[in-house]
Amino acid sequence: DQQVKQNSPSLSVQEGRISILNCDYTNSMFDYFLWYKKYPAEGPTFLISISSIKDKNEDGRFTVFLNKSAKHLSLHIVPSQPGDSAVYFCAASANSGAGSYQLTFGKGTKLSVIP
């Protein structure tokens, strides 16, 4: 039962163009959503987040959009740069019922930005 789904395993984009990475979730208890970026042989690094009370959050070239009714979020990168080439994980947070919040990750989307 995959609660966070990233249906595109890979995405190729030309440098300078927009990259759009998508994520769907099924658990309506999720109230905080995050994107992590991962380079080979490194751990994931936090990129941007959004709470369920917002529908957009922007940080430089990165914008995350949340559509609660559709249980869908997306990450936009504009303009895309070769250094953005990495695996991007969507994650969602909910109270685990044990007094803590637990992150549930999608399978990731590998972004390749072509110079």
Residues that bind other proteins (CB under 8 A): 4, 31-32, 36, 41-46, 49, 51, 89, 91, 93-96, 98-103, 105-108
Phi, psi of 3, rounded to the nearest 5 degrees? -85, -20
Q: Which two tokens stand for residue 18?
A: 């927009």
Q: Minimal distance in Å, beta carbon 2 to other proteins? A: 9
Q: Rank residues 13 and 23 by Cβ distance to other proteins and give the closer one.
A: 23
Evaluate the omega torsion of the peptide bond into residue 9 and state whether it is cis, within 30 degrees of 0: no
Biggest CA-to-CA distance, the chain = 47
What is the CB neighbour count within 10 angstroms for residue 69?
A: 5
Q: Minimal distance in Å, beta carbon 67 to other proteins? A: 21
Q: Minimal distance in Å, beta carbon 64 to other proteins? A: 14
Q: Rank residues 15 and 105 by Cβ distance to other proteins and give the closer one.
A: 105
What single-letter DSSP state applies at residue 24? E
Q: Minimal distance in Å, beta carbon 18 to other proteins? A: 24
